Structures are given as C-alpha cells and as structure tokens.
Amino acid sequence: MLNQKENIIKSNNTINNHKIVIKIEHLKKSFNGNNVLKDINMIVCEGENVVILGKSGIGKSVLIKCIVGLIYPDAGLLKVFGKEVAEMNSRELNILRTRVGFIFQGNALYDSMTVRENLEFPLRRNKTITDPHVIEELIVDALENVGLVDAIDKMPSELSGGMKKRIGVARTLILKPEIILYDEPTTGLDPLTSREISNLILKIQNKYKASSIIISHDLNCSKITSNRMLILHEGIIRAEGTFDELKSSDDEWVRSYFKID
Ligand SMILES: Nc1ncnc2c1ncn2[C@@H]1O[C@H](COP(=O)(O)OP(=O)(O)OP(=O)(O)O)[C@@H](O)[C@H]1O
Ligand SMILES: [Mg+2]
C-alpha cells in the first residue's frame, strides 16, 4: 500500500493523504545493557495492515508493548493518534487502550471465567457500557464475528488452541478498537486453522477499517494479511516492502526470510 522510502511525509500526520495513526522515530529500548531496540523508525497508516517479521528474541513484542504504554522506551518519539504515549496520564492511557486492542502472544484468556465472562471483562473495566442487554448483544456480535457463538458458555479449557485465539480476537474486538496489535496470532496452530485466523484478520480490516500490526513468523499469514511488511533485525527496521517485493528482493538476506525448508 505504502512504501515509506518512496513517499514524502507531507505533514506530521499524513503521508500521501493517508492519515498516520502510529508514528515511531529513533525509538530505543534496552534492558540491563541489552540494547534490544536501537533506532526504530516506522509508521502505520489508517486502514493499513503492517506485518513485522523478525527472529525470536529480537524485540518484536517489546516494540508493540511500547505502543500501548506497557513498556516505556528509553528515547525517541512514539505517537499514537498524534499523541506522545510517554506523556499520557493514566486516564489518557486507559482511553488509548480502548482505541488500541492488543492480542497477546499466547491467549491470555482468564481460565476461571467462561467465554461470556472473558468477553464481558473489558466492557466492565471500561465502564462505558453498563446495560446488560447491550452487553449481551455486543458479546454475541463479537462471537459472531469469529464464528463462535456456540462457545459462549464454555470454559477456555474446553476450547481448542485455534478457538482460544478466536475468542482472544473477539475479546479485543468488543471495544471496537481502531488499531489492533496481533502478537503471533497463528503460532502453534495447524495450517488450516492458521489460514482461518489470517482470513479473520483480513475480514476485520475490511469490516472495521481498522489498522493493524501483525507480528508473525508465518509466511502464509503474512501473505494473506499484509499491505506492507517490515523486518526487524539487530534493533532496527532492516527492510520494508510488500510481501512480493521482499520475497523477490535483490538482497539475499531479505529473501532468506521467505525460504521454506
Ligand atoms: N520486561 C523485560 N525485562 C527484561 N528483558 C526483557 C523484558 N521484555 C523483553 N526482554 C528482552 O528483550 C528481548 C526481546 O524480547 P521480545 O519478547 O520482544 O522478543 P520477540 O522478538 O517478541 O521474540 P519471540 O519471537 O520469541 O516472541 C529479549 O532478549 C528479552 O529477554
Ligand atoms: Mg514475542
């Protein structure tokens, strides 16, 4: 959709008339001398799906945790919807976390709660919707989106891995986020279920016009979901382009990410 290098950022908030929803410049983050993120520069535009590839332990989860203020960068700029996350107070951070949904690596469902209760949880915490009928409608609507209305009274332990992922997506969708951060949505799933989740991510982009960052090692998922891809390596974004551009890159190192053994 967009190639940053070939485009001029015309103002702080748009690039070629696309609204920028996430803007990161010179972001750094270390943990006890471990320089994980050294100089991250990237943008995400409204309605765009950006896939981030990168080896295990390279800092992908750290990067997206910075976007919702779960981890604070040591230096650099990180603006979401035009506002610097590091300067947000707790009220603003709460609002940010309703506008930006986070689907954690692993499922992060509450094991002692039913599917209904898991989905109710963000609404209760958010406190903007209290009418039980409206809550029920939202839960059913979110479950319909992921094709799992029948699971409403089940416990997470009764669900398969793929179903848990879909419930995790439904729980995030319930607050109608404008940005969704997916941390390895298909890891550990069989190829068919992975494809279902990838198609769900695409459906959500089209239905809600949401922008997303999808962290993935899964090339099929990247191909299905991405408008643009970034490769994170040694603390910087080493490569950027569409799936096809990167797959046929002149740089052998870039192409190596697309080899299937
Ligand atoms: N809270 C933390 N405290 C200290 N070190 C951390 C913390 N969070 C992450 N790290 C370190 O930062 C590095 C990057 O971790 P991160 O979880 O972002 O990797 P990743 O790219 O998401 O890997 P994976 O693909 O395995 O999920 C790792 O060396 C990790 O140990
Ligand atoms: Mg991770």
- Predicted TM-score (pTM) of this structure: 0.91
Q: Which amino acid is at 25?
A: E
Apex CA 202: angle with CA 101 and CA 64, to 5°? 35
Report for 2-11, 81-90, 170-179, 188-197: range of highest mean pLDDT:
81-90
Which residues touch 183 (CB under 8 Å, ≥6 apart)?
Answer: 60, 61, 64, 102, 103, 104, 105, 215
pLDDT per residue over 41-75, tens digit each?
A: 999 999 999 999 999 999 999 999 999 999 999 99
Mean pLDDT of 24-29: 98
Residue 5 has pLDDT above 90, yes or no: no
> Which residues, judged by CB distance below 6 Å to any ligand atom, belong to the binding site of ligand 1?
31, 34, 36, 54, 56-62, 105
Confidence of residue 162 (pLDDT cuts 50, 70, 90): confident
Rounded-to-integer distance, Cα 80 and Cα 100, Å: 9
Ligand 1: distance of its center to the CA of 256 in Å? 23
Position 192 scores a pLDDT of 87
Reported confidence tier of residue 224, pLDDT bands at 50, 70, 90: very high
Average pLDDT, the chain: 90
- pLDDT beyond 90 at 175: no
Tokens of 158: 């009764």
Ligand 1, atom 2: nearest CA belongs to which residue? 31
Kindly report the CATH number that applies to the domain delimited by 4-258: 3.40.50.300
**Overall average pLDDT of the 175-198 stretch:** 90
Q: Atom 14, ligand 1: which residue's CA is nearest?
A: 59
| Atom of ligand 1 at shortest range from CA of 54 | 21
The fraction of the chain above a pLDDT of 90, given in percent, is 68
Atom of ligand 1 nearest to the CA of 71: 1
Question: Residue 12's pLDDT is what?
Answer: 60
